[in-house]
Amino acid sequence: KHKEQLDNALKAIKETQKKRSKLEQDVQIENDHMAKIKVRLTAVKTNKEYSAILAEVDAAKQKISALEDEELSIMEILEKEEKKIPDIQNGYKKEEQEFQEFKKQKEAEIARINQDLEARRKKRAEIAKPIEAQWLGLYDKLIKHRGEQVVVLLKEGVCRGCFQQIRPQMAIEIRTGEKVHQCSHCNRILYWVPEPETETAVPK
């Protein structure tokens, strides 16, 4: 926003300077024209010719006066526009400085995240080495569809991913741990952890 304001202000000043330059050229042209008219006065032979040339001089003077008035008006506008520039420039410089600091912080944060991500990729690759390709592929596929929690606990016959009841036969097979099973409802990979037996009080 500040950059746009600054660009617009500088553009307005440039356009105004062009107008002023054009007016100065027009004034110079009229002055040259009037000087040529006055030279012709020396060659006048009749009062009629003399009066006509004086009228032409007066017309040139009026045109010059109008151009100079317009030039003064342009100069006032130019002065006002130029006075705005320092404040706009200061605002722009302040915003630019804050932005550069913000950018520097974010770039450092991105570098740190990338470094951490690379370390995690290496760690994941090490962990994934002993895993069969088919299960690793299944895991990656589930991650895309289900998010982070794709290997979930089976507890009391219930999948802790979707909280649906699992068939008793599948629950028994999961407890044996002989092969990988997926929940028939959400396709998450299920595992089972034996619960510690609770001691029962023996009556005396």
Quote the DSSP letter at residue 155. E
Q: Report, in this order, helix, strand and coil percent for the chain, each rounded to 5.
A: 70, 5, 25
- The model's confidence at residue 200, banded by pLDDT at 50, 70 and 90, is low
Sequence-distant (≥ 6) Cβ neighbours of residue 95 within 8 angstroms: 1, 2
Task: Dump pLDDT digits (tens) for 3-24.
Answer: 888 888 888 888 888 888 888 8
Torsion of CA 168, 171, 177, 180, to 10 degrees: 110
pLDDT band at 51 (very low <50, low <70, confident <90, very high): confident
